[in-house]
Structure 1
C-alpha cells in the first residue's frame, strides 16, 4: 500500500509582536499540521484458506498376474511410456499343454461312457416297462419286477455320476484355457511405468501378497491432497479455485478446482489432543509432466474475492458503530481534514474492501486527528480590558 506524507500548515499573522498564546478548539475545517496518510487505491482482494499438501497420481493401475507360473519376459522398464493393450509381461504358466491334452482325452472317454450308459438305461427302462405290464396281468413274478426296477434305478444313478464327472472336467478345462490366455499381460491403460517389481525367472501366483508387480500411471493429470485444519475446512466448497506452488518451480503457480473434502479426519490427527485435519482433493493438468508424485504443494483455496475493489488498510478502521459503519478522516483537496462514514465489505487480515464513503485517490489519515496549532493575536494595551 502506498503511504504519502502530507504537509499541512496553519495560517499565522506575519510580523506579529510577542503575544499570549490561546488554544483554539479543533474543527474539521481547520488546516492541520503534518500528518501521515494512505491513498485509497483499487486492487484485487481475496479471502483464502492456507494448507500444505502433496501431489499424487490421479489415475493409475496396478498390474498383477491372473495365472500361476514363472515370468518369462518383462519388456518394459520404469519410466517407459506404454499404450493401452501393449504387452508388459509374459508368463510361462504352471499348467502345461500336455496336461490340457490329458484332460481333453479324459473328457472324450467320459462322453463315450455316457453314451454307453445311456443305452443301458434305455434298455433298463424298456425292461421295467414290460415287467410293469406283466405284473398288472399277474403274468410275472414279484422278484422279476423288483429286479427290473432296481436295474433302472442303478442305470440312472450311473448316468448322473458320469454327468457330474463331465461337468467337473469341463470347469477344469475352461479354467486351464483361461489361464493359457493370460500368459500375456497387457497394459490396462495408457501412461508411464512408475513402479516395477517383476523380473524374468520370478515365480508368481494368483493373489500373492506384497506390492503390485507393475504400476502404470497417467501423468497428464495429477491430484493434490491438501491437509486443512478443522477450523477452516467448513469454509471450503466443491468447485472453488485452488492455487498452489511447489518448491521445485519457484515463481510458478498451478490452479485447479476443489473436487472433494474427505469427511473423516486425516490419519494421525484428532487423537490424544492433536489438532484435527481433513484431506481435501483437487486435480491439476500436467501436460508437460513437470509435476511429479510426492512433490510438496503450498495451497491457497480462494474462499471469496473482489476484483478491482477500493482498498483500505484494516488498521485504519477502528471500531464500527451499532450499524456496522466505520469513521475515518480524510485530507481533502483543500488540505483540510474531514470525517467520513465508510461501509466495509470483504476484508482480510491486512486490507478491507470499501463499499461506500471513499473514492479512489483520496488520502486517509493513518493516525489520530492532530491538535490544531495555536493562533497568535496582539496583546491588549495597558489599562485596556
Structure 2
C-alpha cells in the first residue's frame, strides 16, 4: 500500500507543469464574455443655463407693473413689464401744437422772403438804369437778408422740436418692456414703483433662461485634460435621478485654470463645457453632474476582469489560468488591448465562454489511511 502511494506520488510529479489536475472542489472562475468597454476620464461638474437673457429698459422712468414671476413661461415679444410714461400726454400735445405754429410761421416767412427777393431784384434793375437811389438798393438787400435769417431761425426751431417729438414718441413706445427670448423666468428683481434707468447697475430687473438645453461645466484635473478632444461623448448622472444617464458632446476646454486652483501648491483643474438636451426640463441649474468623458471605446469585445491578469512578459503578454473542459487548470498567455480600472479587452489567447480561474489553485484533499494499515505498515 505504501509502495503504491509512493508510486502515485511519482506519477503526479511527472505531469506537465502547464496542467494540474483539479480536485473535487469547485474552483472559483469567471466566464470570458463579450461586451462593450470604455476608457473614461471622470470629473465632477455643475449644470448651468446654456442660453439666458436679462431684461433691461431703454429709457429712464418708473415701473408701473411687473407681469411675471419666477417659474413662469414667457414667449419672445411678450410684455413682461410696464413703465409709467416719462413724458405726459399733455406735454406731447403741447409740443405738437408748437410744431404746427412754427410750420405756419415758416410758411409766412417764406412768403415774406419771396417778396423781399422780388424787391431786391427790382431795385437792382432800377439801379442799372439810374432810376433809383443807392439807399433803396441797400435797404432791399438788408430786408432780404433779414427775411432769410428769420427763415433759418424758424427751421432750426422746427428741427429741435422734431427731435423732442421723436424722443417723446420713443419714450411712450418704451413703456412696454418685451421679453427678448422665449423661456422661463428665473430671476425677478423689479417691483412696481421702482425707479429705473438705462444701463442700471446691479442685479438684472428680470432674467429669462431657455431650459430646453443645459450646459454642464465639469472640472477636469490637469493630468487628464490633455486626453480630451472636442466632439467626444460625455455621459453624466446626477443624484436627483438615480440610474438615469444623459449624454452630450464636448464643446470646449477653457484654456485657463478653474478659479481657485493651481495656486500655492493646489492641484490645477480646467473647466470643460458641453451641452445636453433637456426637453422635459428635468435638469435644473446647480445640479451636480458625475461626468464620464469617453476617451476610447470598443464594441462587442472579449472582456476579462483586470485583476485576473498575471505578470506581463517581455513580449507584452499576460498569463491567466484557464479551467478547461477536463477540469484542468492550464496557464494561458493572452494579449490585451484597451483597459480600464475594472476590465480589459482580450485580443487573443481566450475565447468567449472559457472559464478563467479567479481564486487560488485548489489544494488536493488527501484521504487519511486506514488505522490498521497505518499501525502495521502492511495491507
Is TM (by shorter chain) over 0.5? Answer: yes
Structure 1 position 207 matched with structure 2 position 199: yes
Task: Give 1:262-277 correspondences, 5 Å limit.
Answer: 262-277=254-269
SS class of match (2:347): strand
| Aligned twin of 1:62 | 54
Q: Structure 2 CA distance, aligned partners of 1:359 and 1:73?
A: 74
TM-aligned CA deviation for residue 97 of structure 1: 0.7
SS class of match (2:260): coil
TM-aligned CA deviation for residue 180 of structure 1: 0.8
Do the aligned partners of residues 110 and 14 (structure 1) sit closer, same or farther apart at CA in structure 2, a change above 3 Å counting?
farther
SS class of match (2:229): coil
Q: Is the 8 A contact 2:81 2:178 kept in 1?
A: yes
| Aligned twin of 1:75 | 67
Q: Structure 2 CA distance, aligned partners of 1:91 and 1:280?
A: 42
Q: Is the 8 A contact 1:309 1:354 kept in 2?
A: yes
Structure 1 position 27 matched with structure 2 position 16: yes
Instruction: Select 2:230's aligned residue among 238, 241, 244.
Output: 238
| Aligned twin of 2:326 | 334
Instruction: Select 2:347's aligned residue among 344, 351, 355.
Output: 355
Count residues with an aligned counterpart.
361
Q: Structure 1 CA distance, aligned partners of 2:282 and 2:227?
A: 31
> Unaligned 5+ residue runs, structure 2?
365-379
SS class of match (1:232): helix
Instruction: Select 1:112's aligned residue among 104, 118, 123.
Output: 104
Structure 1 position 40 matched with structure 2 position 32: yes
What TM-score results when the alignment is normalised by the length of structure 2?
0.79
| Aligned twin of 1:16 | 4
What TM-score results when the alignment is normalised by the length of structure 1?
0.78
Do the aligned partners of residues 349 and 145 (structure 1) sit closer, same or farther apart at CA in structure 2, a change above 3 Å counting?
farther
TM-aligned CA deviation for residue 14 of structure 1: 8.4
TM-aligned CA deviation for residue 287 of structure 1: 3.4
Do the aligned partners of residues 79 and 19 (structure 1) sit closer, same or farther apart at CA in structure 2, a change above 3 Å counting?
closer
RMSD: 3.6
| Aligned twin of 2:159 | 167
Q: Structure 1 CA distance, aligned partners of 2:8 and 2:353?
A: 40
Q: Is the 8 A contact 1:83 1:191 kept in 2?
A: yes
TM-aligned CA deviation for residue 96 of structure 1: 0.6
Larger helix proportion of the pair = 2
Q: Is the 8 A contact 1:329 1:369 kept in 2?
A: no
Do the aligned partners of residues 320 and 138 (structure 1) sit closer, same or farther apart at CA in structure 2, a change above 3 Å counting?
farther
| Aligned twin of 1:258 | 250
SS class of match (2:20): coil
Q: Structure 2 CA distance, aligned partners of 1:111 and 1:16?
A: 136
> Unaligned 5+ residue runs, structure 1?
1-12, 373-385
TM-aligned CA deviation for residue 310 of structure 1: 0.8
Do the aligned partners of residues 346 and 14 (structure 1) sit closer, same or farther apart at CA in structure 2, a change above 3 Å counting?
farther
Q: Is the 8 A contact 2:213 2:279 kept in 1?
A: yes
Bigger Cα displacement from structure 2, 286-295 vs 320-329: 320-329
| Aligned twin of 1:184 | 176
